A and B are shown apart, each in its own frame.
Chain A
Amino acid sequence: MSTIIQCQGVSQAFGSKKVLQQLDFTLQQGEVAALIGPNGAGKTTLFSVLCGYLKPDSGSVLLFGHKPGSAALFGKVAALPQDAQFDPAFSIGEQLDFYGRLQGLNSRAAAAETDRVLALVGLSEQRQHKAGALSHGMRKRAAIAQAFIGAPQLILLDEPTAGLDPVNALQIRQLISRLSAEVSFVISSHNIFELEQLCNKVLYLEQGRLKTEANSASDSLQQFLTLQLEQDDSAAVTQALSALPGVISIEAVQQKTLLLCYQAQQNADFDLAVLQCLAANGWRYRNLTKGKTLEQKLFSSV
């Protein structure tokens, strides 16, 4: 597995405000990383550093072994920068054609590529329209389309579904999910549900520091199940499930939601045992998820 992003001791300050402080992390090929953090945590600044828009004050950043913004990365690294807008004088199609030409495609190939990426985001019919004639959501989808031109190996998406209606947000999530087999992604979003679906690695930033760097294999010794019940029978359910072999702890994390911690070595079919126990007692459940939810992983101590 090869390293795609390598950040070492990255720091950045604007005046006296330290926006990024000694960030160290790596991203391996095939990983889809979620970049999470509260407003002002430094997510967009980190994106700017990774895209080469901003040189950090100190530390080193390498993408595929090259500094961000290097010619070797043109066409290999793509991004959806936050708030970047198209030129209002030209149609979306003309601009995407131009971007394709800049990436080394000839006119015909660039036009075909524009058609392909516009179809990916459901904007084929807007090819001739200028950005000013499109809605906010359409402009966002067009900006996402430009990130898929050519064959990028790493795509950085800053809030890809912010401002999109639920149907289009779902389409973008499905698109990312489909492409994530071949392309590595770094996705910044406030939508934890979305990141949980798409990402297998989490980078949690707070006040410019990397608080958590976790991936989906983090819970290998102790396994977790998140159980969401139809009705609030938490006390009775907890008592019944506590008797199952392998249980370490059961915690009511929210109303009707239990977090079950268990030893997988002791009971390999623990999830089946939970379902059988629920069925035997006539308790209905809404959802059973393997592992902790991303929200629990990040904020369980809050």
Chain B
Amino acid sequence: MANPLSTLQQGWLYAGFELQRLWLTRRGLMTLAATAVIWFFLLRYAIAPASDLISADGFQQFFRDVFGSGGLTQLFAWPAPELAVYWVLSLLILPTFCLFFTANQLCSDLERGTLRFLALRSSRSSIVLGRFAGQMLVQGSLILLTLAATLSLAAWREGGISLAMLTAAIVIAVNLLLVLLPFTALMSCFSAMVRSARLAVSLAIVSLGLVFALLSWFIFYFPDYLFLMGYLPGTQVLQLIQLQGWVTLQHALLPLAQTAVLLTAATVLLKRRML
């Protein structure tokens, strides 16, 4: 049995190595460049125009008339409309990006046999935990970069950055990381099962779709079990959109629990498989 302290130390080394992969390798820099291009278009053609629209009094009144003063009207409570649009957009698209982005946690190393070098020096638990932590650090870096760009846009329009805007940005970053935790852990599982990132993504999409379809079918006949839907990864996203500020953390427990279960599964899967 591996010592928990050495598992954490080695996990930290793996996480640092993944961060190095993002910032110091050609492939990592290509990922950064691709992210920059995608977010440039999102900021230029989605967030900036939508922010102008949201900040218009007429639109806010129209929105309240249609949807009432609760729910989505909380979007107007964010200190900058750019952050509100970033919040909605990120919550909806980042989980899908995450499936693709984090699919290769273990697959390539399994295929190449690199894991055989690693398994002689560290436990399989620390490999899974370290790679997972590394992916979260990488995604955290990208979220911080895109948030910084969004804040710059807001600052340019409003003539400066307020403390409320910075706090809101931190709230968004923490929540996005919480939302991405179970999806990243889900890809830890699938990448421990197969030797190709593409196959891992396909398996994840099919599995999520299948579970959703089976659960829907089950609930159709047994409506009392509707609450089960709430346990699927990402189901809190629609509730989060309607919230604002630190109150959003009331939905933090479920993704944390899902992540713990999925990471345990990933560790068991890697321990049981032949390298």
Interface residues of A (CB under 8 A from B): 48, 51-54, 69-71, 74-75, 77-79, 81, 83-87, 89-90, 94, 98-99, 101-103, 143, 146
The closest CB in chain A to the CB of B121 belongs to A102
Partner of A102, one of B13, B25, B116: B13
Inside 8 A of B21's CB, which chain A residues have their CB? 89-90
Task: Report Cα–Cα, A7/B1, bound state, in Å.
Answer: 21
Check A99–B274 contact: CB distance below 8 A.
no
The closest CB in chain A to the CB of B111 belongs to A85
Check B275–A54 contact: CB distance below 8 A.
yes
What's the nearest-Cβ distance from chain A to residue B156, in Å?
36
The closest CB in chain B to the CB of A52 belongs to B119
Check B114–A102 contact: CB distance below 8 A.
no
What's the nearest-Cβ distance from chain A to residue B183, in Å?
23
Max count, chain A CB within 10 A of own CB: residue among B112, B117, B274, B275: B117
Check B123–A84 contact: CB distance below 8 A.
no
| Known contacts A71-B3, A98-B17, A102-B10; A81/B116 CB under 8 A | yes
Question: Which residues of B from 1 to 38 have beta carbons under 8 Å from A?
Answer: 1-3, 6, 10, 13, 17, 20-21, 25-28
Q: List 19 A-B contacts (CB under 8 A).
A: A51-B120, A52-B120, A53-B274, A69-B124, A70-B1, A71-B1, A71-B3, A71-B6, A74-B121, A74-B122, A75-B121, A77-B120, A79-B120, A84-B117, A85-B114, A89-B25, A90-B25, A98-B13, A98-B17
Check A48–B274 contact: CB distance below 8 A.
yes
Partner of B112, one of A71, A85, A102: A85
Check A51–B274 contact: CB distance below 8 A.
no
Inside 8 A of A101's CB, which chain B residues have their CB? 13
B99-141 near A? 1/0 per residue, CB < 8 Å: 0000000001100111011111111100000000000000000
Check B120–A78 contact: CB distance below 8 A.
yes
The closest CB in chain B to the CB of A90 belongs to B25
Check A71–B27 contact: CB distance below 8 A.
no
Check A84–B17 contact: CB distance below 8 A.
no
Max count, chain A CB within 10 A of own CB: residue among B108, B116, B123: B116
Inside 8 A of B117's CB, which chain A residues have their CB? 81, 84, 86, 99, 143, 146
Task: Report Cα–Cα, A255/B166, bound state, in Å.
Answer: 88
Closest 7 pairs between A and B when the two form their complex, measured CB to CB: A84-B113, A53-B275, A102-B121, A81-B116, A71-B2, A85-B112, A89-B25
Task: Report Cα–Cα, A52/B124, bound state, in Å.
Answer: 11
Max count, chain B CB within 10 A of own CB: residue among A78, A83, A85: A85
Inside 8 A of A83's CB, which chain B residues have their CB? 113
Inside 8 A of B124's CB, which chain A residues have their CB? 69
Inside 8 A of B274's CB, which chain A residues have their CB? 48, 53-54
Task: Report Cα–Cα, A75/B10, bound state, in Å.
Answer: 13
The closest CB in chain A to the CB of B124 belongs to A69
Instruction: Taking A84-B113, A99-B117 as given, write out 7 further A-B residue pairs in contact, using a Cβ cutoff of 8 Å, ordered by the A residue number.
Output: A53-B274, A54-B274, A84-B117, A85-B113, A89-B27, A94-B20, A102-B10
Question: Which residues of B from 231 to 253 have beta carbons under 8 Å from A?
Answer: none
What's the nearest-Cβ distance from chain B to residue A121, in Å?
15
Inside 8 A of A75's CB, which chain B residues have their CB? 121
Inside 8 A of A54's CB, which chain B residues have their CB? 274-275
Inside 8 A of B27's CB, which chain A residues have their CB? 89
Inside 8 A of A77's CB, which chain B residues have their CB? 120
The closest CB in chain A to the CB of B17 belongs to A98
Partner of B123, one of A71, A89, A90: A71
The closest CB in chain A to the CB of B118 belongs to A102
Check B120–A87 contact: CB distance below 8 A.
no
The closest CB in chain A to the CB of B109 belongs to A87
The closest CB in chain B to the CB of A47 belongs to B116
